[in-house]
Amino acid sequence: MAISNRRKKYPGVYAWILLFLVLNICPAFASERKSTCVKIIFDTDMLTDCDDAAALGILHKLADAGEAEILATMVTSSYPMSGPVVDAINTYYSRPEVPIGVPKKDYGVYRDNSSFLDSVAAEFPHRLKSNTEAYDAVALYRKILSGQEDSSVVVLTVGYMSNLAPLLKSTPDRYSALNGTELIRKKVKVWICMGGNFPVDDASDNVNFTRDPESAVYAITHWPGKIVFAGREIGHTIFVGDRLKDTPVDNPVRRAYQLHRERAKAKHWNHHTADPTAVLLAVRGILNYWNLSECGYIDIKNNCSFVWKDHPEGNQRYIIQKMDREQLGLILEDLMVIPPDKHE
């Protein structure tokens, strides 16, 4: 009997089978569970775009709500003030103890044309004076992952893959006898990657891949577990942020938006939500916000152009918009403007 005929004959049975598969095979994307706290390593470029600041702020609010635990905040920018701005946002949200990892060797992306980094670093409380005082990102990844339960960590990148490529290539050290690939395979539940245009990308505007193309290609093609992409076609069609004007002036996320939008000579502070979208995906899963593509992989070239290929044994998927974009934007902006909890 064909599978389609069996479904017609035993609809209730197949409904229960589908529910079992969703809840047990893909629990990270099945539904929001208030009792589950997602353990996240947040990896940002924190360089040219203010939505990185909003993404980190949203992650802190989800942590305040008990939905996430921030294990570390990594930076792929080698600009000296990138780490301090991450530190300033962590401090504003009452988590100055969250460790920060930055590129320490011959990796990372350096650009000195940020509209907000120097000002935010100078104006807001934090402890790091520059990237030089932060942890080495690869070493911090290895330390954090080695101390976590198996298949328990969500890695979330909203920037370049400049930390992940050397992590994959890393060798055993004092933290773990496993090499990088083995450590990721054992400890990471899923990698949520903000980047790409789906299903076909000509690499003309995919900056999260193209500013460090060698790392992007290596990480994507060598990752030993699941990857879910939040493509640019999702967040780059949802614009919010103007309500940050109503938040206190001691909010570093507010200041980042103000400076970024002033340089752009914009009449309002609304901006795309590529990185905030990825945060919501990493913490809450797809819920009724998005659908998931079929399993497959991106057939990526050295210049980071790619074509999506469906494949039943592929370990990659991408999200497809389901909820009305304006409604999803309201959810994101609400999280942006909620004041921080004051932790004892």
Residue 51, domain CATH: 3.90.245.10
Q: What is the DSSP letter of 131?
A: G
Residues 101 and 148 in one domain: yes
User: What is the identity of the amino acid at 169?
Assistant: K
Count other Cβ atoms within 10 Å, centred on residue 81. 25
Q: Is residue 18 predicted with pLDDT exceeding 80?
A: no
pLDDT at 107: 85
pLDDT above 70: percentage of residues in the chain: 89
Answer yes or no: do 24 and 92 share one domain. no
Q: Closest by alpha carbon to 241, among 324, 330, 119, 322?
A: 330
Q: Mean pLDDT throughout 300-314?
A: 98
Assess if residue 343 is contained within a domain.
no
- DSSP for 241-257, written as a single string: -GGGGGS-TT-HHHHHH
To which H or E segment does residue 152 belong?
Answer: none
Task: Mark whether 71 and 2 lie in a shared domain.
Answer: no
**What SS3 class is residue 239?**
strand
Report how many domains make up the chain.
2
Q: Are residues 17 and 128 in the same domain?
A: no
Q: Are 257 and 147 contained in the same domain?
A: yes
**pLDDT value at residue 32:** 37
Q: Are 319 and 228 in contact (CB under 8 A)?
A: yes
Domain shared by 83 and 19, yes or no: no
pLDDT at residue 4, rounded to an integer:
34
Answer yes or no: are the C-beta atoms of 139 and 173 closer than 8 Å: yes
The confidence score (pLDDT) of residue 209 equals 98
Residues near 138 by beta carbon (within 8 Å), at least 6 away in sequence: 101, 104, 163, 166, 167, 170, 180
**CA distances (Å), origin 156, targets 93, 153, 184, 247:** 19, 10, 13, 26
Question: Taking the CA of residue 7 as centre, how many other CA atoms within 13 Å lie in the half-sphere pointing to its CB?
Answer: 6
Tell me the residue range of the domain where 25 lies: 1-30
In terms of DSSP bridges, do strands 188-194 and 153-157 run parallel, antiparallel, or are they unpaired? Answer: parallel
Percentage of the chain beyond pLDDT 90 is: 86
Give the closest residue to 322 by CA, choosing from 295, 286, 296: 286
Q: Quick one: pLDDT at residue 22? A: 38
pLDDT for the residue numbered 344? 55
Same domain as 119, residue 26: no
Torsion of CA 306, 311, 313, 317, to 10 degrees: 60
As a whole number of angstroms, the distance between CA 316 and CA 310 comes to 9
DSSP 280: H
Task: Give yes or no: residues 3 and 89 share one domain.
Answer: no
pTM higher than 0.75: yes
With contact defined as beta carbons under 8 Å apart, do 88 and 125 qualify?
Answer: yes
- What's the CA gap between 158 and 75, in Å, rounded? 10
- Tokens representing 28 are 């990270």
Q: Which two tokens stand for residue 277?
A: 């979208």
Mean residue pLDDT across the chain: 91
Please write the tens of the pLDDT for every residue from 252-273.
999 999 999 999 999 999 999 9
* 70-116 per-position pLDDT tens digit: 999 999 999 999 999 999 999 999 999 999 999 998 788 998 889 99
Residues 113 and 203 in one domain: yes
- At 159-185, the pLDDT tens digits run 999 999 999 999 999 999 999 999 999
pLDDT tens across 140-165, in order? 999 999 999 999 999 999 999 999 99
pLDDT for position 105: 82
- Is residue 30 predicted with pLDDT exceeding 60? no
Note the pLDDT tens digit of each residue in 281-300. Answer: 999 999 999 999 999 999 99
The model's confidence at residue 343, banded by pLDDT at 50, 70 and 90, is low
Say what the pLDDT of residue 33 is. Answer: 39
